[in-house]
């Protein structure tokens, strides 16, 4: 059972002006501000409308480091402004519970400063601790920054789902990527 969360500060991220830690209920308002900004960009994430409000995220951020999920934020400044987040959630089905899916975002003005990488490192640490065997995600083909970051962490492209997203900007393919945290099963394609 994973019960402990990482609240320790990391010197390398502190020097870069941010800290990565599990989300707290008090992060809800600041998170929503960041998330609305990323959603408004329209190109990078599936979400087109932010449906849930502060109350929903306050509740959700109470369980930010469990056996089934990790909800991480990157925060900056004395008020702990949220400038990035990563959610990892274990699949619920009995035969897919070894996999956790990831979604993440960094505020536009904070990109390219190592926040995405710091969030991913912490997510991988959670996954190993929770004995997740594989991390999975999907990414739009034109999202070069995200694809490069996932490749940097060893994610491999496993396929392309055509027109999988029907967004206000049109249909978008999705590339599915995976990172095995155990040796890849040899008989998986039988």
Ligand X SMILES: CC(C)(COP(=O)(O)OP(=O)(O)OC[C@H]1O[C@@H](n2cnc3c(N)ncnc32)[C@H](O)[C@@H]1OP(=O)(O)O)[C@@H](O)C(=O)NCCC(=O)NCCS
Residues at the site binding ligand X, with contacts judged by CB under 6 A? 38, 44-45, 104-106, 111-117, 139, 143-146, 148-149, 152
Smallest separation (angstroms) from ligand X to the CB of 16: 10
Query: What are 163's strand-pairing partners?
Result: none
- By C-beta, is 37 or 185 nearer to ligand X? 37
With CA atoms as reference, report the closest residue to 137 among 88, 173, 186.
Answer: 88
Q: Which long-range contacts (CB under 8 A, 24 or more apart) does 6-13 make?
A: 6/65, 6/122, 6/125, 6/126, 10/118, 13/74, 13/114, 13/118
- By C-beta, is 141 or 185 nearer to ligand X? 141
The CB-nearest residue to ligand X is 116
Smallest separation (angstroms) from ligand X to the CB of 52: 18
Q: What are phi and psi of 39, to 5 degrees?
A: -60, -40
- By C-beta, is 69 or 117 nearer to ligand X? 117
Task: Return the exposure string of 49-58: e unless at least 16 CB atoms fall within 10 Å of the residue's CB, then b.
Answer: eeeeeeeebb
Smallest separation (angstroms) from ligand X to the CB of 186: 29
Smallest separation (angstroms) from ligand X to the CB of 109: 11
CA 138, chain centre distance (Å): 11
Q: Give me the residue label for tokens 């609305």.
A: 36
Q: Which long-range contacts (CB under 8 A, 24 or more apart) does 166-170 make?
A: 167/42, 167/46, 167/48, 168/42, 168/48, 169/42, 169/43
Smallest separation (angstroms) from ligand X to the CB of 145: 3
In 3-state terms, what secondary structure has residue 48?
coil
- By C-beta, is 79 or 112 nearer to ligand X? 112
- By C-beta, is 66 or 85 nearer to ligand X? 85
- By C-beta, is 25 or 111 nearer to ligand X? 111
Smallest separation (angstroms) from ligand X to the CB of 141: 11
């Amino acid at each position: 059972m994973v019960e402990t969360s990482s609240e320790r500060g990391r010197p390398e991220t502190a020097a870069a002006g941010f800290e990565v830690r599990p989300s707290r209920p008090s992060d809800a308002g600041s998170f929503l501000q960041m998330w609305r900004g990323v959603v408004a960009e329209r190109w990078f994430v599936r979400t087109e409308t932010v449906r849930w409000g502060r109350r929903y995220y306050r509740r959700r951020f109470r369980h930010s480091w469990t056996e089934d999920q990790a909800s991480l934020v990157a925060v900056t400044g004395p008020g702990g402004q949220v400038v990035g987040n990563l959610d990892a959630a274990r699949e619920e089905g009995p035969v897919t519970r070894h996999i956790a899916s990831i979604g993440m975002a960094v505020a536009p003005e904070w990109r390219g400063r190592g926040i995405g990488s710091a969030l991913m490192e912490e997510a991988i640490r959670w996954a190993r601790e929770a004995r997740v065997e594989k991390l999975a995600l999907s990414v739009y083909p034109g999202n070069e920054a995200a694809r490069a970051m996932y490749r940097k962490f060893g994610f491999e492209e496993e396929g392309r789902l055509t027109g999988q997203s029907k967004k206000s900007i049109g249909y978008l393919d999705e590339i599915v990527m995976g990172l095995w945290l155990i040796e890849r099963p040899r008989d998986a394609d039988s």
